[in-house]
Amino acid sequence: MDLESDSKVVVGLINGDSVRVDRNYNIIMQIKCMLGRDWEVTTYHVYREANCVADWLANYGLTRDLLDRGSDVLDEPPSGLYPLLYYDLIGSTVTRSI
C-alpha cells in the first residue's frame, strides 16, 4: 500500500527515526504507530499537482459545516471534482496558480 503526501516535511518525519516535539508530535506518532502494524506501507512525497483529487477532497472537507464533523459518504463525486478526475484518468496534471 502506498501513502502519498504533498508535504516533504511530513514524509520525512514519518520515515525518520526521531520526531521533534512540537505541535504535530502526537499526530506524527499516531501515524507512525498505524504504519507499524502488520502491513506494508511505503510513504512517498508527491507534488500537489499530482495529488489534486486528494487535495480537492481535503479542502472540500474543510468547507463543510464545522458542527457536522461526522463521516461523510459520497454516493457520487461532487460536481467540482469531475474535471480533476478526468485529468487524472488521462494522466495529465492541472497546474496550480499561486
Average pLDDT for 22-46: 86
The 10s digit of each residue's pLDDT in 37-94 is 988 888 888 887 777 888 888 788 777 665 566 666 778 888 888 888 888 888 776 6
Which H helix or E strand runs over 2? strand 2-5
- Write down the domain spans for the chain: 2-45, 48-89
Asked whether the beta carbons of 14 and 7 are under 8 A apart, the reply is: no
Reported pTM: 0.54
What Å distances lie between residue 92 and 47, 49, 77, CA to CA?
A: 13, 9, 19
Sorted by sequence, the CB contacts under 8 Å of residue 60 that are 6+ apart come out as 78, 80, 81
